[in-house]
Amino acid sequence: MTDTQFHALPDGCRLAYRFTPGSGPALVFLPGYMSDMAGGKATALFDWARERGQACLLLDYSGCGESSGDFADGTLSRWRGEVLALIALTLGNTAPVVLVGSSMGGWLMLLVGRELGGRLAGLVGIAAAPDFTEWGTSEADKARLAAGQTVYEDNPYGPDPTPTHPGFWQDGQRLRQLDTAIPVACPVRLLHGQCDGDVPWEIALRTASALRSPDVQVVLVKDGEHRFSRDSDIDLILRTVAALPGMPHP
């Protein structure tokens, strides 16, 4: 990842990012919880965009990947601000943007998309997980988090348990999206595996229902899992992005 760059925030945090300039709309990939821009989906999208001559931005949230900071301080609100700062840095304040969000990044793309307003050219959710602080948290764990305790769960993707910190959970509860209309009018594509053991595929249907946009499509992959990183999954992601209205055709 020799083309990684860093942007210093006013609080001293250094955000790692990769950017390739090109035509628009620019693609911005938003990783999942405890994930980063080195993942297979992110790098595939970046390489594909660079080959097409299309602008693309990858990034690591503070406390993740190559960015500085403590993961325990991370919240959706904080990471939303970081994404918007890097979009402004690399793309200015007018260029159209397509957000591609994986898992938690699919929740974050809804929050960032609201802030982009008319610049938002499209959303592509991959196993998108809006509101998982609500539906993905037991009542017992909610009580612990509300009391300021960190909750740890088994991690199927690594040796260390996955923490949920009270600050993240409380912020997430304030930023739930599925109980009211989501004021997004752009084309939206939601890809979800029906063998996803982390995010029920029904969440894609709830998200589609909440979106105000009339141009929403849900694609369910019967044998797809949460990572959605097989060659066939990545091919579907790239074909979905390429087929969005307004995308350039090299």
Instruction: Return the active site residues.
Output: 103, 196, 226
Residues near 28 by Cβ (< 8 Å), separated by ≥ 6?
56, 57, 59, 83, 87, 97, 98, 99, 100, 112
CA distances from 105 to 80, 129, 146 (A): 10, 8, 23
User: What is the chain's length?
Assistant: 250
Per-residue b/e over 7-25, b at no fewer than 16 CB within 10 Å? bebeeebebbbbbbebebb
Which long-range contacts link 226-230 to residues 24+ away (Cβ below 8 Å)?
A: 226/103, 226/127, 226/193, 226/196, 226/197, 226/198, 226/199, 227/157, 228/41, 228/102, 228/126, 228/127, 228/191, 228/193, 229/39, 229/40, 229/41
Return d(Cα 109, Cα 219) in angstroms, integer.
Answer: 18
Residues near 63 by Cβ (< 8 Å), separated by ≥ 6?
69, 70, 71, 72, 73, 74
